[in-house]
Amino acid sequence: MVTAALMAASGQTIEKVSQHLGVTEPISIAGPADADFVKTRKLEKFLVSAGLYENQDEAVLREEVLGRLDQIVKLWVKQISRNKGFSDQLVLEANAKIFTFGSYRLGCFYFGICQVHGPGADIDTLCIGPRHASREEDFFVELHTILADMQEVTELHPVTDAHVPVMKFKFNGISIDLLYARLALWVIPEDLDISQESILRNIDEQSVRSLNGCRVTDQILRLVPNIQHFRTTLRCLKYWAKRRGVYSNVTGFLGGVNWALLVARICQLYPNAVPSTLVSRFFRVYTQWRWPNPVMLCAIDEGTLGLPVWDPRKNPRDRMHLMPIITPAYPCMNSSYNVSLSTLRVMMEEFQRANEICETLETNKAEWNVLFEAYPFFEAYKNYLQIEINALDDDDFRKWKGWVESRLRQLTLKIEKHTYGMLQCHPYPCEVVDDSRKGRHCAFFMGLQRSQGVPQQEGQQFDIRATVDEFRHSVNMYMLWKPGMELHVSHVRRKSLPTYVFAGGVRPVRPLRSSAVISKSALRPTLSHSVSQLPKSDSGITDEDLEDISGGAERLKRKFQTPDDVVLGKRHHSSPSMNGRLNSGDESIAASHSPLVTSNKQLVMGGEEVLENIMKQGLEVYSAEEELEALNEVSTSVLRRDDSAEQLHSKFEQESDRGQSRLSVLTSGSCSFPNGVVDELEPTTAFGGPLAGAVGNTDSQRKPVIRLSLASTSSAVGALDVF
């Protein structure tokens, strides 16, 4: 493992990059100092100790698996060519090729996932076949049959109805995600160049999306000034994102390609920096980035084939994207369309925390392990949604879990929409399993809190019965549903969380406070200690008690008159409602402030403020005039949305005041994004209002009224009392 730091330590010199990559000039072309090399060596030592580099035996095994897979698809295409009556000459020339992309191709593949536990990451692969090899019959039937008959292949699972159809399986224990692209060629040459635009001519949309992964990966590697520095930095940032719970495209955070694009842009802005500096600058820049201005590695290519590209000036739906990160290969798309208001808020808070730690690291007052402390998700909120998934066998469970997980983002969006953005939902991107239970099952959790700036009102409730019911209904429409596939949604207070969500199955002891006046910032993890390590006292008052005390004597009186546990009302048999949806028992939810909040103003900082703040931190640039020009280009863009985050927040309040049943500023029926993803946020016809008791409702209730009153009931989901 040769890096710039090791090269410097051995007396080798590093040639400065002078070429200009990216849509703007670099912010700084300054080279690394001796202290930067020292920090980089410490960073790499930490990454090695964390197990983020595979050993030589593992690398050889992966190469062998990919080589074997390439042989299999070549035999497969010859077999189907023969079955379709092609001549012996054409059968002999028939060919297919395997390409890799994603983390493996970028050179930062490693085992760890959530909290660095669990199976290794998948190798993203693409099979390119000729025009006579169809996806539906030949790839998902013939090739599937060949793989199913092989002893080396296990957990074979085709996902034919995905946005990008994929075949998932393990080959000699190595997880593989295999995509398929069908080109308009009779013979696939061995030296095929997929970077050419002409390769997209006369192929179907699914093949275009499948090819896009490889084309984007190759473009990223072409657009970074130093590939080795890029790989080390990306490995570091992906590990950080997983430790902090913000690595998951499917739940509304960022996935592998998103992080790669963000890191690549920082490499362009600081072309001569070493990984330790790039990590620090990553958080400094994106803490002050003016979302929703897009992150782009190069200018958007309009192309000549007429394929749709991301452009909010022409496509109104593109203006709805909150955190656009644009892919550099034609057709250019927004790779982060899944990001919601809630997940954007969480990521901005994490960027801010990391930036503060990096500033401390630069003064040698902290170590790298502080940056990578695991996020204490199950201690950060008072109220959670628990989504339990059950199935009878491994195959059914794998399919059912994949389907439910793909719908979780819709639940987050619907909660935001139906509460007019007043209730924020923080999805936990990792599944949790209770090893003591029999059968196949897992659970997902979401933290709930009132949005920043929403005033507290005595007795105010958020009614999300229709929201949860709508989510259940959409999940139960799974076409491959089988008996035993079950879904349970329930509310859980922090004090009632199951012990299997905690490390070692042991619930951490929450510290006590000596004062009834506690700031929210005191509950937030700091550089030197986490929430579970806050100082103790002998007061005997819990955090929940203190929050009720600070809220008023009346709430405190109500608290101690009734049990503190919040449970969802009595379940009843599901039955069709008047509007065709299912009526099912839900649970009432009580949510209060979480300490992790941020101001919308931080997300829309002006270009002048960005410049002033960055200049105050002493960036090394080659001239003040060039820095001014570079930062103006970096922090502003001609591709703007009509509404800033602050204007969106204002519209949330306006919509709430009018008591409307849908948020027009975020949704307009079912909207299709440029890459084909449909944001299914249909209006609810039998919606009782997100603020029961606060917003008038003239429509008759079509669902049983279940509201939280802190009375002792057996089980409930729906009204959310925020106190």
Catalytic residue (choose from 238, 242, 559, 703): 238
Peptide bond into 455 cis (omega under 30): no
Alpha carbons 354 and 358: distance in angstroms, whole number? 6
Alpha carbons 414 and 670: distance in angstroms, whole number? 13
Query: Two tokens at 196?
Result: 């050419």
Closest CA to 592 of 445, 444, 485, 708: 708
Number of other residues whose CB lies within 10 A of the CB of residue 137: 10
Alpha carbons 586 and 473: distance in angstroms, whole number? 13
Coil, strand or helix at 645: helix
Strand partners for 444: 387
Closest CA to 207 of 180, 184, 234: 180
Q: Based on the residue annotation, tell me whether 103 is a catalytic residue of this protein.
A: yes
Alpha carbons 191 and 198: distance in angstroms, whole number? 15
Alpha carbons 450 and 46: distance in angstroms, whole number? 37
Strand partners for 123: 176
Alpha carbons 345 and 343: distance in angstroms, whole number? 5
Q: Based on the residue annotation, tell me whether 643 is a catalytic residue of this protein.
A: no
Judge contact between 110 and 121, C-beta under 8 A: yes
End-to-end alpha carbon distance in the chain: 54
Q: What is the 3-state secondary structure (H, E, C) of 306-368?
A: CCCCCCCCCCHHHHHCCCCEECCCCCCCECCCCCCHHHHHHHHHHHHHHHHHHHHHHCCCCCH
Q: Based on the residue annotation, tell me whether 170 is a catalytic residue of this protein.
A: no
Which residues, 6 or more positions from 96, have their beta carbon under 8 angstroms from its beta carbon? 73, 74, 76, 77, 127, 128, 129, 130, 133, 188
Q: Which residues of 607-628 are buried (b: 16+ CB within 10 A; e: fewer)?
A: beebbeebeeeeeebeeeeebe
Alpha carbons 53 and 56: distance in angstroms, whole number? 9
Write the DSSP string, 26-57: -S--PPPPHHHHHHHHHHHHHHHHTT-S--HH
Alpha carbons 612 and 620: distance in angstroms, whole number? 14
Judge contact between 722 and 591, C-beta under 8 A: yes
Catalytic residue (choose from 103, 490, 584, 661): 103
Side chain identity at 333, as an amino acid letter? M
Q: Based on the residue annotation, tell me whether 122 is a catalytic residue of this protein.
A: yes
Q: What is the 3-state secondary structure (H, E, C) of 207-228?
A: HHHHHHHHHHHHHHHHHCCCHH
Query: Two tokens at 113?
Result: 């996932």
Write the DSSP string, 462-485: EE-HHHHHHHHHHHTT-TT--TT-
Catalytic residue (choose from 28, 39, 78, 124): 124
Catalytic residue (choose from 247, 270, 375, 428): 247
Closest CA to 143 of 71, 93, 63, 203: 71
Judge contact between 290 and 605, C-beta under 8 A: yes
Judge contact between 101 and 214, C-beta under 8 A: yes
Number of other residues whose CB lies within 10 A of the CB of residue 601: 13
Catalytic residue (choose from 36, 110, 122, 381): 122
Closest CA to 27 of 316, 367, 257, 272: 272
Judge contact between 177 and 168, C-beta under 8 A: yes
254 DSSP 8-state letter: B
Catalytic residue (choose from 177, 218, 543, 679): 177
Residues taking part in catalysis: 103, 122, 124, 177, 238, 247
